[in-house]
Amino acid sequence: MGLDIRLPIGSMFSIVGLLLVGFGLLGDKAIYQRALGINVNLWWGLVMFLFGIVMLFFGRRGMRDLKRDEADED
């Protein structure tokens, strides 16, 4: 279908992950009281970012295969 879905998923998760990490590092720390004192934005942002990178890696590989398949068909 010309688009490997892992590419948009990977991009979105790495962007959202980065946003959360940045906010977790720079933002007000008092807001984490409700989250049992854990800086969830920082840690969960990191997890989402890493997941995004892994998806991007596989998505790029998938796109390469897709392009090759399409070239074969032509």
Partner 1 sequence: MKLTIIDWTIMLVYFVFVLGIGFALKRHMKTSKDFFLSGRSLPAWITGLAFISANLGAQEVIGMGASGAKYGIATSHFYWIGAIPAMVFVGVFMMPFYYGSRARSVPEYLKLRFDEKTRGFNAISFAAMTIFSSGISLYAMGLLLGVLLGWDFTLSVMISAVIVLIYISLGGLTSAIYNEVLQFFLIVFGFAPLVVLALIDVGGWSGLVARLGGVATAQGYPAGAWTHSWKFMDSPAHNPMGVEWFGLAMGLGFVLSFGYWCTDFLVVQRAMAAKSMSAARRTPLIAAVPKMFFPVLVILPGMIAIALTHRAGATGFALPQKLDGTLNYDLAVPMMLGHYFPTGLLGVGLTALMASFMSGMAGNVTAFNTVWTYDIYQSYIKRGASDAHYLWMGRMATVFGIGVAVAAAYLVTRFNNIMDMLQLVFAFVNAPLFATFLLGMFWKRATGHGAFVGLLSGTFAAAIHHGVTLPHGGVAGIKGGWFAVTHIYPSEMAQNFWTAIFAWTTCFVVTIVVSLMTKARADSELAGLVYSLTERPKEDQLVWYKRPTALGAIVLGAALVLNIIFW
Binding site for partner 1 (CB under 8 A): 1-3, 5, 8-9, 11-13, 15-16, 19-20, 23-24, 27, 31-32, 34-36, 38, 40-41, 44-45, 47-48, 51
d(CA 29, CA 39): 8
Q: Environment class of residue 36 by beta-carbon count within 10 Å: exposed (0-12), middle (13-18) or buried (19+)?
A: exposed
